[in-house]
A and B are shown apart, each in its own frame.
Chain A
């Protein structure tokens, strides 16, 4: 593989460039995936059947925690990429580990939130609204869970192999993924929670 030293490490081989472009295209597909879920949620949002409405079950506290945690994690992974560009592998690994811990914390609050929903009688089978709500949140949560495992593998490789064109490429793509999850969350926060609570 030819390595072009004039480019940032993550872009330095042709395969790396293709990986990154491919991931952007994949994000295009992910936008459609979440777009479809949002469309379903908008259609089914007020079709609550005999179950509760959004205003009745949403709690602002865990949602605010989740939002702050996820936004912070997007910031820390940005610092991680900054450290990578500077060649500070140790700082980079530290920021990645912090990001993943924040991801786990986010999941913790989300699990609490789901338990709360089931507790107040808003389970998956209650109504079309709850099904759409839990599926949309669940898909995002599943992405975060997947991301935590993926991030662990990347941290492992960074420790084991150091910063190479390959690991830099993987780390960069992972950061794109993580930022994307944050963007999706902003939409969830605005159009599911805020819209549902007013």
Chain B
């Protein structure tokens, strides 16, 4: 029995047992459902083996939304625990696990795939490409991310969740203080999905540099493509640092090395440095594509081209550079000198300048525009003021002297949620409503959409504004309870109400999808928003070869020129199109990586070695394989186009 005991949960509670049952039942339901409706073949042929960037984008999107609910459930548990003083809902250990998982899931497995979903789906369409540069690697990226996410998620029913914070600071995260396997899960889940992200970064950079339509110079790329490009450059430079840090952390835990210990020469601050050298740019990996989406939406619904295109691009490049120079502001109070703190204080506050430039550019785009208040536009309008609150409080935190007051309080929690939620989550929801018709061929209901946007925006303020006040009053973060005499009760109760608001808002989004599937009209054409960029020149949903003819571009807004300025977008004749073949290898390799990570988590060395060999065998087979892809004939293109557009 010894062998199986290690898989047991170290701190069980009825909620976890209930989750186990729920997970078991869901898995059984999925298997039975797929078998009953005979969908296994369909699932394998059309999704698991797909190399189509659009399908991969949709899989990222679905995973991100699933993880949003997973991380959201954690958030509600936390706010419920904190809602009243001396609450007994969760114990300290359970609370540690919940906030650790919430942070990890939301950043790594919700926000990242949400961004990746849009990058994958939109970028090739915006630049007039048939696919990304390396379609198979793209599929591999997705499966690595997905398996990493699943690895972290099974931790709370097998072996125990990580509990040392999403920053996983050593030596807290070392075996001595975190004896459960939870931290191993954290290390391997991030390692596997981080590998996927790095591959995406390389893939997207090459795609954007090499596969643009004729006429599209770098300075004629749509803003979302620019933002994705900058974000992917950051990925390529930031993620290897995480890889090394996680490897060293793994060595410390599994092989008893002394990188981050406090004895035998180890240095605990090294982890903090490495983590934030990756972690701070990571914030901009998330926010820049989100800014790109806002730029697309604000320009479309103002009926104007984006104000200050060059300064938008320039500010992103500057932000990407500065993002690597500010990591130390995450530990101003951990004992470095005044000079170091001052330098990092200045670089941190300097980021406000290019960010301000972007905010003003959006405002100037709105100025004299014919503004149409659709759901995506509403999110974008709600974003500007709420995000500014988050940004300004960030400058407050950036002043290192003042930071000694706010650090480790709820003020900090409020700040980054006020940045990430309006900055990233609003953008993703705006993008979801904006690109939904392109992805699925029908629109989400506008009435429900706008109601949701208001509910989510108000919930953001309700949930996080009180934290500024309780934080300034001295409420420390990561405390699982507090006494009544502190007076934090009322603030936390308001936050809890905000959390409930979020739950209602996200439930409404699900309802909206359901409602729209049933009632939305299907004949919306290719360009329902009267948009400006290339992705709207394809039929909705997009045929798998994207563009029947290669588009020719003369400005940043090729479709707008085609619609209103007599520019001929598709001057060429039909030609046969070369497309990549589907492949099962990325999915299988992803599964092997999952087993690989799981074996290491529990220090099962024989399966660990076998899976490592399996990974290399897959790579060798891929190297030897000849895969010329296939051609789509002109007749097939014409037939497809006729079916989708009703015309030749």
B236 touches A149 (CB 8 A): no
Q: CB-CB contacts of A4-26 with B at 8 A, as 1s and 0s?
A: 00000000001001110110011
Select from chain B the residue with minimum beta-carbon distance to A128: B265
Q: How many residues of chain A get a CB closer than 8 Å to chain B's CBs?
A: 41
Select from chain A the residue with minimum beta-carbon distance to B622: A153
- With the chains together, A33 CA to B255 CA distance in Å? 21
Q: Which residues of B contact A153 (CB under 8 A)?
A: 620, 623-624
Report which residue of A14, A26, A30, A36 has the largest number of chain B beta carbons within 10 angstroms of its beta carbon.
A36
- With the chains together, A1 CA to B623 CA distance in Å? 18
A30 touches B210 (CB 8 A): no
Question: Which of A21, A32, A129 is in CB contact (< 8 Å) with B237?
Answer: A32
Report which residue of B256, B266, B616 has the largest number of chain A beta carbons within 10 angstroms of its beta carbon.
B266
A98 at the interface (CB under 8 A from B): no
A25 touches B265 (CB 8 A): no
Q: Which residues of A contact B628 (CB under 8 A)?
A: 1
A36 with B241: in contact, given A18-B133, A128-B259 (CB under 8 Å)?
A: yes
A125 touches B263 (CB 8 A): no
Question: Which of A1, A14, A29, A150 is in CB contact (< 8 Å) with B236?
Answer: A29
B459 at the interface (CB under 8 A from A): no
- With the chains together, A25 CA to B198 CA distance in Å? 10
B244 at the interface (CB under 8 A from A): yes
Question: Which of B205, B255, B274 is in CB contact (< 8 Å) with A25?
Answer: B205
A131 touches B206 (CB 8 A): no
B241 touches A125 (CB 8 A): no
Q: How many residues of chain B get a CB closer than 8 Å to chain A's CBs?
A: 44
Q: Which residues of A contact B270 (CB under 8 A)?
A: 40, 43-44
A48 touches B243 (CB 8 A): no
A28 with B257: in contact, given A18-B134, A21-B209, A127-B265 (CB under 8 Å)?
A: no
Q: Which residues of B contact A19 (CB under 8 A)?
A: 134
Interface class of chain A by DSSP: helix
Q: Which residues of B contact A18 (CB under 8 A)?
A: 133-134, 206, 210-211
Q: Which residues of A contact B203 (CB under 8 A)?
A: 22
A72 at the interface (CB under 8 A from B): no
Select from chain A the residue with minimum beta-carbon distance to B628: A1
Q: CB-CB contacts of A135-147 with B at 8 A, as 1s and 0s?
A: 1000000000000
Select from chain A the residue with minimum beta-carbon distance to B266: A128
A47 with B209: in contact, given A29-B239, A33-B243 (CB under 8 Å)?
A: no
A89 at the interface (CB under 8 A from B): no
- With the chains together, A18 CA to B208 CA distance in Å? 11
B264 touches A126 (CB 8 A): yes
A58 to chain B, nearest CB (A): 17
A129 to chain B, nearest CB (A): 6
Q: Which residues of B contact A125 (CB under 8 A)?
A: 255-258
A50 at the interface (CB under 8 A from B): yes
Select from chain B the residue with minimum beta-carbon distance to A132: B259
Q: Which residues of B contact A22 (CB under 8 A)?
A: 133-134, 202-203, 205-206
Q: CB-CB contacts of B275-302 with A at 8 A, as 1s and 0s?
A: 0010000000000000000000000000
Select from chain B the residue with minimum beta-carbon distance to A164: B626
A124 at the interface (CB under 8 A from B): yes
Q: Which residues of A contact B616 (CB under 8 A)?
A: 149
A97 at the interface (CB under 8 A from B): no
B240 touches A36 (CB 8 A): yes
B258 touches A127 (CB 8 A): yes
A140 to chain B, nearest CB (A): 13
User: CB within 8 Å of A: which of B199-234?
Assistant: 201-203, 205-206, 209-211
Q: List 29 A-B contacts (CB under 8 A).
A: A14-B210, A18-B210, A18-B211, A22-B202, A22-B205, A25-B201, A25-B206, A25-B236, A28-B236, A29-B198, A29-B239, A29-B240, A32-B236, A32-B237, A36-B277, A44-B266, A44-B270, A47-B265, A48-B265, A51-B264, A127-B264, A128-B264, A131-B248, A131-B258, A132-B259, A149-B616, A149-B620, A153-B623, A153-B624
